[in-house]
Amino acid sequence: MTDPIHSMQLAVDIVLSSRHPENKIAATLFKDGVSLSKTNDWPPAILEKLGQDTRIGDSSGTIHAELNCLFHSAFPTAGASLAITDPCCPNCAKCIAEAGIQSVYIDHKGFEKDFAVRRGDEFQDMSLRILAHAGVSLYEVIRKEHKIRLIYEPESGYIPPEDNQIEIRPCRAPLSIPTLLQTARLVKVKHERWGCALATDIHGKLWTLVASAHPAIGYTHKDIQKTDGKYDFILEPVNRLLMGAARNGLKISCDHLWCSVLPSPREMVNLVGYGVRKIYIGDMGNSKKPESYPAYKTLESNDILLFEDMKRS
Ligand SMILES: [Zn+2]
């Protein structure tokens, strides 16, 4: 059974098992009678080698509960729902939209916690706007009363003004580094930050995935110019590859990922959480923000994530 209230209960049942000392959060991803529940957590390699407190560039080392579910989904996440014990952060909201999630349910107790109150503005201002633009429905679950309260629902027939999905094509070449490098060579994109990867479906069939940095679903470059610059509505290429794979029921091969520049620290942590050990980089001297460089140093020197500079080779 995977109704929203039951799914929320499944998340609540495991939330105390989160290793996070203060912010214990859990989520359940559910669709067609199947569900997966996860807490926020540190990827084992980060926990063992860096501990809980080391910053990775400007990012924490944790994988948020929502993404922990999306990374490990055994079914395509397009059209699925998420029940979360807490309001989601703007970064997760962008990824939830990109993964094709249709409905998000937040536990009413999540709105009362200290850090939810602290983050309240962020949720209202950014997470809610991102989900609304993407056409994701949002509800509050009041478990005790067995009630679901509507927070936001798109008008019927709403289609996001822009949903530039990542490119996914069948690949006839074998799963190998030369195939990845050949794919990267053939990519023609206008954006300086882009990535590609090889991925397999449940039948073992191989696919190539290509994504460039892009505004969150429903936003256009024009909308972004209108914002005050305090928040970032752009989804970076590596996160788009990970979410595009989840959306379509594909698993990215952990040894076959390319990014044109150094990914953001948050993308690097997500890669480690996904199980990636090595990434090929087009230009190590280029990144969206300067924090990428210390993040790369921390991860590479501790043998957590390796970077192959393709400009040098
Ligand atoms: Zn989050």
Residue ranges, comma separated, of all CATH 3.40.140.10 domains in the chain are 4-152, 167-309
Residue 80: both structure tokens together: 């699925």
Q: Which residues contact 101 (CB under 8 A, 6 or more apart)?
A: 77, 80, 81, 82, 136
Task: Tell me the per-residue pLDDT of 137-147, one tens digit each, with 9 for 90 and over.
Answer: 999 999 999 99
Share of the chain above pLDDT 90, in %: 78
Angle between helices 237-247 and 265-274 (to 10 degrees): 40
Looking at residue 149, its pLDDT comes to 96
Amino acid at 77: T
Strand partners, 309: 281
The Å distance, Cα 311 to ligand 1 centre, comes to 33
Of residues 311 and 222, more confidently modeled: 311
At 258, list the tokens. 């390319």
What does the chain come to in residues?
Answer: 313
What is the Å distance from ligand 1's center to 259 Cα? 23
What are 150-193's pLDDT values in tens digits?
999 998 888 887 677 899 999 999 999 999 999 999 998 778 99
- Ligand 1 centroid–CA 92 distance in Å is 4
pLDDT at residue 195, as a whole number = 97
- How much distance in Å is there from the Cα of 88 to the middle of ligand 1? 5
Q: Return d(Cα 232, Cα 266) in angstroms, integer.
A: 13
> What average pLDDT does the chain have?
92
For the cut 70, the answer to whether the pLDDT of residue 296 exceeds it is yes
Ligand 1 center–CA 206 separation, angstroms:
30
CA of 10 to the centre of ligand 1 (A): 19
**197 vs 112, more confident:** 197
Please state, in angstroms and rounded to a whole number, the distance separating the CA atoms of residues 94 and 129.
10
The Cα 69–Cα 67 span in angstroms is: 5
* pLDDT tens-digit readout, 79-130: 999 999 999 999 999 999 999 999 999 999 988 877 666 666 777 778 888 9
According to the model, what pLDDT value does residue 1 have?
52
Class of domain 167-309: alpha beta
| pLDDT in the model for residue 126 | 85
Residue 189 C-alpha to ligand 1 middle, in angstroms? 29
Residue 171 CA, ligand 1 centroid: distance in Å: 33
Q: Which residues pair with 195 in a beta bridge?
A: 211, 259
Ligand 1 centroid to 27 CA: how many Å?
A: 11
- CA pair distance 285, 59, nearest whole angstrom: 20
Ligand 1 centre from 170 Cα, in Å?
32
Q: What is the pLDDT of residue 190?
A: 73
Tell me, letter by letter, the H, E, C secondary structure of the chain.
Answer: CCCHHHHHHHHHHHHCCCCCCCCCCEEEEEECCEEEEEECECCHHHHHHHCCCCCECCECCCECHHHHHHHCCCCCCCCCEEEECCCCCHHHHHHHHHCCCCEEEEEHHHHCCHHHHHCHHHHHHHHHHHHHHHCCEEEEEECCCCEEEEEECCCCCCCCCCCCCCEEEECCCCCCHHHHHHHHHHCCCCCCCEEEEEEECCCCCEEEEEEECEECCCCCHHHHHHCCCCCCCEECHHHHHHHHHHHCCCEEEEEEEEEEEECCHHHHHHHHHHCCCEEEEEEEEEECCCCHHHHHHHHHHCCCCEEEECCCC
Rounded CA-CA distance 60/43 in Å is 11
Lowest mean pLDDT among 66-80, 226-240, 281-295: 226-240
Distance 64 CA to ligand 1 centre (A): 5
Taking the centre of ligand 1 as the mean of its atom positions, its distance from the CA of residue 188, in whole angstroms, is 31
Predicted pLDDT of residue 157: 85
Q: Give the Å distance between the CA of 277 and the centre of ligand 1.
A: 22
Contact 163, 217 (CB under 8 A): yes
Residue of 13, 56, 95, 83 lying closest to 302 (CA atoms): 56
**Lowest model confidence (mean pLDDT) among 33-47, 76-90, 121-135:** 121-135
- How far apart are the CA of 24 and the centre of ligand 1, in A? 12
Confidence of residue 197 (pLDDT cuts 50, 70, 90): very high
From CA 85, how far away is CA 26, in angstroms rounded? 6
At residue 140, the pLDDT reads 96
Amino acid at 7: S
Alpha-carbon distance 122 to 245, whole Å?
27
Assigned fold of 4-152 = Cytidine Deaminase; domain 2 (3.40.140)
Please state, in angstroms and rounded to a whole number, the distance separating the CA atoms of residues 119 and 102: 23
